[in-house]
Structure 1
Amino acid sequence: MRAELDLRLLRAFVAVAEELHFTRAANRLYVAQQALSRDIRRLETQVGARLFVRSTRQVTLTPDGERLLVHARSLLELNDAALQDLSGEARPLLVDVIGEGLTAARIVDEARMAAPQLELTVRYGGGMGAALTQLLAGRVEVAFGRTEGLGAPFPAELTRRLVRWEPLALLMSDDHPLADLAEVPMAELDGVEIDASSGNDVAPEWVDLAASLLADHGARPSPPHPHVVGTAETARHLRSHGLPILTMSECPEVPGAVVRPLVDPVPVYPWAVVHHRDANHPGLAALDAVMVDLAAEERWTALPEDAWVPAADAQWVRRP
Structure 2
Amino acid sequence: MDLEAVRTFVAVAEAGQFQKAAADLSITQQAVSKRIAALERSLGVRLFTRAPRGAELSIDGQAFLPHARELLRVAERAVGSVRPGRRPLRVDVIASRSAQSGLMRGFHRAYPEIDLDVVMLFEIETAVAAIRSGAIDASFRAVAAPGRPLPEDIESVRVLDEPLQLLTGPAHALAGARSVTVAQLVGHRIWMPGIVPGTEWGAYYHDLVAEFGLTIEATGPNFGSDALLDTISDTPALATFMGEHTRLIWPADHGLRRIPITDPTPIYPHSLLWHRDNPHPALATLRAHLAATAAGHDAAGTWAPGWVIPR
Partner of 1:233: 227
Partner of 2:199: 204
Question: What is the Cα deviation at residue 148 of structure 1?
Answer: 1.9
More divergent stretch after superposition (150-159 vs 241-250): 150-159
Q: Which amino acid aligns with 1:263?
A: T
Superimposed CA distance per residue, residues 282-320 of structure 1 (whole angstroms, 9 cap, x where no aligned partner) = 7xx2x66456435524x345442333121111xx425xx
**1:79 pairs with 2:75:** yes
Aligned 8 A contact 2:90 2:119 in 1: yes
Partner of 1:242: 237
**1:51 pairs with 2:48:** yes
Contiguous gaps of at least 5 residues in structure 1 = none
In the TM superposition, 1:134-153 aligns within 5 A as: 142-149=138-145, 152-153=148-149
Question: What is the Cα deviation at residue 79 of structure 1?
Answer: 2.5
Q: Which amino acid aligns with 2:269?
A: P
Aligned 8 A contact 1:128 1:147 in 2: no
Superimposed CA distance per residue, residues 51-102 of structure 1 (whole angstroms, 9 cap, x where no aligned partner) = 36465x6664344543442443243234333333444878776644222321
Relative to 1, partners in 2 of residues 1:204 and 1:74: Cα closer, same or farther, differing over 3 Å?
Answer: same
Relative to 1, partners in 2 of residues 1:136 and 1:194: Cα closer, same or farther, differing over 3 Å?
Answer: farther
Aligned 8 A contact 2:90 2:117 in 1: yes
Q: Which amino acid aligns with 2:257?
A: V
CA distance in 2, matches of 1:160, 1:52: 63
Superimposed CA distance per residue, residues 88-139 of structure 1 (whole angstroms, 9 cap, x where no aligned partner) = 87877664422232122223434555446735243364x6467567778987
**1:217 pairs with 2:217:** no
CA distance in 2, matches of 1:148, 1:176: 34
Equivalent residues, number: 300
In the TM superposition, 1:1-150 aligns within 5 A as: 5-20=1-16, 31-32=25-26, 35=27, 37-47=29-39, 48=41, 49=46, 51=48, 53=50, 60-87=56-83, 95-112=91-108, 114-115=111-112, 118=115, 120-123=117-120, 125=122, 128=124, 142-149=138-145
Superimposed CA distance per residue, residues 33-67 of structure 1 (whole angstroms, 9 cap, x where no aligned partner) = xx253432221232355636465x66643445434
SS at structure 2 position matched to 1:178 = coil
Q: Which amino acid aligns with 2:48?
A: L
Query: In structure 1, which of residues 299, 305, 312 is the aligned counterpart of residue 307 of structure 2?
Result: 312
Q: Which amino acid aligns with 1:122?
A: V
Q: Root-mean-square deviation (CA), in Å? A: 3.9
Partner of 2:181: 185
**1:268 pairs with 2:260:** no
Relative to 1, partners in 2 of residues 1:85 and 1:104: Cα closer, same or farther, differing over 3 Å?
Answer: same
Contiguous gaps of at least 5 residues in structure 2 = none
Q: Which amino acid aligns with 1:317?
A: P
SS at structure 2 position matched to 1:312 = coil
Superimposed CA distance per residue, residues 218-239 of structure 1 (whole angstroms, 9 cap, x where no aligned partner) = 3222353323412x21222212
Q: Which amino acid aligns with 2:215?
A: R
